[in-house]
Structures are given as structure tokens and as C-alpha cells.
Structure 1
Amino acid sequence: MTRLTSHFLSASALALAASLMAAPAQAQSTLEEVQSSGSIRIGFANEAPFGYQNIEGELTGEAPEVAKAVLERMGVTEVEGVLTEFGSLIPGLQAGRFDMIAAGMYVTPARCEQILFSEPSYAIGEAFAVAEGNPEDLHSYEDFVENPDLKLGVMAGAVEVGYAEAVGIPQDQLVVFPDGPSAVAGVRTGRVDAYAGTALTIQDLVGKNPEGVERATPFENPVINGEEIQGYGAFGFRKEDEAFRDAFNEVLMEFRGSPEHLALVEPFGFTETEMPEKTTEELCAAGG
């Protein structure tokens, strides 16, 4: 009896050992993966000054440069940019085409349902690019509500689509473009009467493509639910990557607003004035 029991336990132990050897190793989390490899892929939308390729083909802009500074402090030194249309950034992140979004994406309640956001890295208002001389005298989103013959250009997936709808601009007055340069071309050719974007985006586009277009001044930010709209840009992470987001946040919050941070983003038009006052929790809960 003792001999049989001993044989049975030995066989069981062998079977258990074999099953453990055959079991696949537990997959690394994204945080573990990027820290162990020292490399990461980030999605961007080629929208200056937030994230774009310069003439040398290098990834730069406010978001990628801040991301690189934070990630380096986390032991991640190789950053590969994955160029993506703005409206495809969230689906691309969810599909695993890249590990995080560094495109200056605004934190909104709708986006918070799809992905996780870091704390904001900046806050900024809106602007219009219009034809030279501003022939339609456009200075606010409300101008389009008052004149149904006008067309407003917006970028696919951008918050300006929601702003336009919230102030009452009908869908048939909106023309959606894949990116800023094509929208400015639409203004220049008369396809749209204005292109709506962040103040820094419009300033950058008009500065680089001044022929036939200008920035509308003065300009009134849209007022939605009694509050003047200001956008807060942050970094995006997959819902399952909370540990990665939290680790990134910890370093970001130590870095944000520091002299080194301000010097890093100054070439892209950001100053201490653009440092955010609201938290991601507040922004995700806004309006709901």
C-alpha cells in the first residue's frame, strides 16, 4: 500500500511539472514591456505644434517631446512615431498599432469612455483660419449659426466637431478634412469659409502657409453650457494599461511646469500661461 501511494504521488508530481513547463508564460504588461525593451511606439497625427514630423523626418512637437522626456526618466529611450490620421488615433491605440497617443489630444468625457488619459500637459483656446481679409467677418462659432450659407472646416475626430454641434451649427454646414494642411487649402480655395482649430494649430498653419489665408482676430471662444471652452491636451493609453498610465503620470506631474519643461515646449509656442488648472478626473466628468 505504501509503495503504491508513493508511486501515485511521484506520477502526480511529474504530471504537474510537465503541465507547468507546457503552460505559456504570463504576458508582460505594456509598462513591463516598454521598460524591459527600452522602446515604445507612439501615435501622432502630424498636427503642428502638437505632434509632427519636421523636415528631417524626425518626430517632434509639444506632445512627443514631453513624452520623450517623461519616458526617458522611466528608462524608455527609443521612441518610434506612428503617423495616423487624428480620427484613427484611438482605434489605432486600441488595436495595438502603438502603445500610447502623443498628439496633444483633448481630454473629453466621450474619449474618457474609450481610453485612459494622463493628467493634462497644457490648456488652450480656439481660433479660425480664414481667407485673407476675412471677407465674411468671422470671429466666432456663432457666426455660422447666424448664416446658414457659410461652411466651417473641421478635422476628422477633433473636438471642434463637437463644439460646432453644441453651439448649433447644422451638420450640413460642416466640411470634414483629414488634417490641418488640407483644411487650410480648403479655406484658400473657397471650399470652406473658415477652418476651426486650436489657437496654436491655426497660428502655426497660417504662419507656414500665409498666402491667401490669415488668423481671424479678434476671436471669441465658444461658450457651451455657460462655460467658455478651453481645451486640455493629454496622453492616451489603453483601458487595460492603467499601471502604465499611473507610472507615466507620476513622472509627468513632477516634470510639468518645471523650468526644464517650459524650456522644452517654448519653441512650440507654449508658455506658463498654457499650464493646465483642471485635472483629468474633472475633465472626464464634465457635463455628465
Structure 2
Amino acid sequence: MFNRRHLWGAAAALGLVSRGAIAQTPTLKVGSTPTGIPFTFLDTRTNTLTGFMVELITEIGKRQGFNTDVQAVPFAALVASLTSSRIDIISAAMLATPARREQIDFSDPVYGYGEGAAIRESESRPWRSLADMRGVTAGVQVGTIYIEPLRAAGLEVRTYDSVADIMRDVSLGRIQAGFGDAPIVSYQIAQNIFRGVKLIPDYRPSVLGSIAIGTRKGDPVLARINAGLASMKADRAFAALVGKWNLPASVD
């Protein structure tokens, strides 16, 4: 970390960070999850991580003078990996919550949403919010912010390593509902891998927030990330990326 900070400082002092001018472009390790489709996931054809957040940080790096080495990190280990300097940046479907802001810094908001709730297609009970679901056996991904709100609402919570695992157990009837980031849950269902699963119609999410790119506290790379994100939004490259990955409108 010491060497990288000095590299940024020296490059800035010499005016070398601008386009194509730096002789030794730094490479930053980016932590992303292999199970957060369409934001981050492992493309089994190429054995590489891809998705909206992977392409976003890669493009920001190109615009701001750094390369990215994207590495697969389990969601629950992302913050610890960042604070221990095993990675330099988190670019995943991670909501910028107050609790996480106590540990790391976040970029300007990237994309906003709440939780989505998946059930079996044969389920007909009139669930519209967590308040309607007391006593329901529900699955949620370990390390996400949905666990405590579900427990507080009186649901019986089981934790899973991935949304795909949750969808499997919903389809098999092992749990009555599965919760996760609404765009991720929606995408999983749209792939028709797990038959007989649907999103709860007209469900009103209880946990709303925005995902953002994470850095260590005080890391100067954050300013470059924000500048790159702003430039992508200004020239419509960000909107094009949202369209490419078929994301619904952001909830601001």
C-alpha cells in the first residue's frame, strides 16, 4: 500500500496520470463475487469474472490510469479482504450501508434497489411485504444486510452461500421464500434454471439502498473512481452498460 500511494503521488506530481502518459500504470486488485449475476459472476466459458460491476470498474480504470486485476472473493469476505489489503477495491453488488461505511469508504452511488422475494409459483398467499410473512421459512445469502430485518420481522431465516442455492431450495420446497438483491433474484429467475419459481407480485421492499465501489479508508484512488464514474454518466457510457446487462430502472 505504501508503494502504491507513492506511485500515485509521484505520477500526479509529474503529470503522468493523464491519458497514455504514465510509464508504469499501476494494477489494482479488485474483489468481486462469482455468484452475483448480473452484477458479478464467473463466466464458465472463459473462466473469468464478468458482469455489470466488473465492466464498470474496468472502464473506470481505463479512464483514470490504472489497470484492474479482478479476483473472485466470497461476498462475506469482501470487507475483510479490503481492510487487510488482500484487495484494493470492492466492485460488487454491495450496498453502502452506515455499518459498512464505518469500516471502508464508498464511491458516489452507482445503482439503487431493495430486496426481492422469490416463492414457488404454486404459492398463493397474499404476501406483499415482510410484515405479512411472519413465521415463513426464508433463505438469504450470508453476509448480506437482509438477515437481521428478516429476523426482526419474525421470519425463520436460513443462510446460504449464493442466490442460486436459495433459488434451488425455493424450487424444491425446502424453504417458503428466498430473499436477495432484487435485480439478482430477478435475473436468476429469468434464466429459467430453477423451474416453478417466481417473484412475489407487487412486493414492497423494506431495505432500500445503493451499491457503490469500496476502497480502504483514506485511499486517494477513491477520487479517481468518482471522477471516472462521473465521466461515464456524463457521456452515457454508464446508461449503455445498464442497458447491456438488462438492469431495471435504479431506485434512487
Calculate the TM-score normalised by the size of structure 2.
Answer: 0.84
Sort the Cα spacing of 1:133 and 1:72 in 2 relative to 1 into closer, same or farther, 3 A: same
Distance in 1, Cα, partners of 2:25 & 2:231: 24
**1:221-254 CA deviation, whole Å, 9 max, x = no partner?**
22xxxxxx4220100111141x111221122122
Counterpart residue number, 1:81: 70
**Matched residues, number:** 236
CA 83–136 in structure 1, closer or farther in 2 if over 3 Å, else same = farther
In structure 1, C-alpha distance between the alignment counterparts of 2:246 and 2:209, rounded to whole Å: 15
**Aligned with 2:224: secondary structure?**
helix
Partner of residue 133, structure 1: 122
Cα distance change, pair 96–246 in 1 and its aligned pair in 2 (3 A): same
Residue from 41, 45, 58 that aligns with 2:48: 58
1:257 shift after superposition: 5.6
Which 5+ residue runs of structure 2 have no aligned equivalent?
A: 12-16, 18-23
Checking the alignment, whether the CA contact within 8 Å between 1:129 and 1:202 is kept in structure 2 is yes
The answer to whether the aligner puts 1:212 opposite 2:196 as a matched pair is: yes
Q: Render the CA deviation track for 1:90-140: whole Å, top value 9, x for unaligned.
A: 111112221111102101000000111001111123311111222544332
Q: 2:182 aligns with which of 180, 199, 214?
A: 199
Q: Which residues of structure 1 form unaligned runs of 5+?
A: 1-25, 223-228, 278-288
Cα distance in 1, alignment partners of residues 163 and 217 from structure 2: 29
The one-letter code sitting in structure 2 at the alignment partner of 1:27 is: N
Secondary structure, counterpart of 1:125 in structure 2: strand
Does the 8 Å CA contact 2:39/2:92 hold for their aligned counterparts? yes
Corresponding residue number in structure 2 for 1:169? 154
> Secondary structure of 2:132's match?
helix
Q: Residue 108 and residue 31 in structure 1: after superposition, are their counterparts in 2 closer, same or farther (change >3 A)?
A: farther
Contact 2:60 2:225 in 1 (8 A): yes
SS in 1 for 2:94: strand
- Cα distance, 1:257–1:144 mapped onto 2, change above 3 Å: farther
| Cα shift at 1:39 | 2.0
Is 1:239 the counterpart of 2:227? The answer is no
> How far apart are residue 62 of structure 1 and its match?
1.5
Q: Which is helix-richer, 1 or 2?
A: 1
Q: 1:45 touches 1:83 (CA, 8 Å); kept in 2? A: yes
2:172 is aligned with 1:183: no
2:28 aligned with 1:40, yes or no? Answer: yes
Tell me the CA shift for residue 28 of structure 1.
3.2
Q: Can you list the C-alpha shifts for 1:5-48, whole angstroms capped at 9, x where unaligned?
A: xxxxxxxxxxxxxxxxxxxxx63328739974442221111201
**Distance in 1 separating the partners of 2:43 and 2:240:** 19
Matched-pair contact (CA < 8 Å) for 1:30–1:99: no
TM superposition shift of 1:196: 0.9
Please report how far the alpha carbon of residue 164 of structure 1 lies from its aligned counterpart in structure 2 after TM superposition.
Answer: 1.9
For 1:35-91, what per-residue CA distance to the aligned partner results, in whole angstroms no more than 9, with x for missing partners? Answer: 7444222111120111112232232212111111111111223x3222122111111
Query: What is the match of residue 154 of structure 1?
Result: 140
Partner of residue 29, structure 1? 5
Indicate the SS of the match to 1:256: helix
**1:218, distance to aligned residue in structure 2 (A):** 2.0
Deviations 1:157-211 (A, max 9, x none): 1121243245x335xx111111111111121222211111122111111112241
> TM (normalized to structure 1)?
0.74
Contact 2:38 2:184 in 1 (8 A): yes
- For 1:258 and 1:217, locate their aligned partners in 2 and report how far apart those are by CA, in whole Å: 35
CA contact (8 A) 1:131 1:212 kept: yes
CA contact (8 A) 2:167 2:194 kept: no
Higher-Rg structure is 1
* Aligned equivalent of 1:16: none
CA spacing shift, 1:144–1:110, aligned 2, 3 Å? same
Q: Which amino acid aligns with 1:125?
A: G
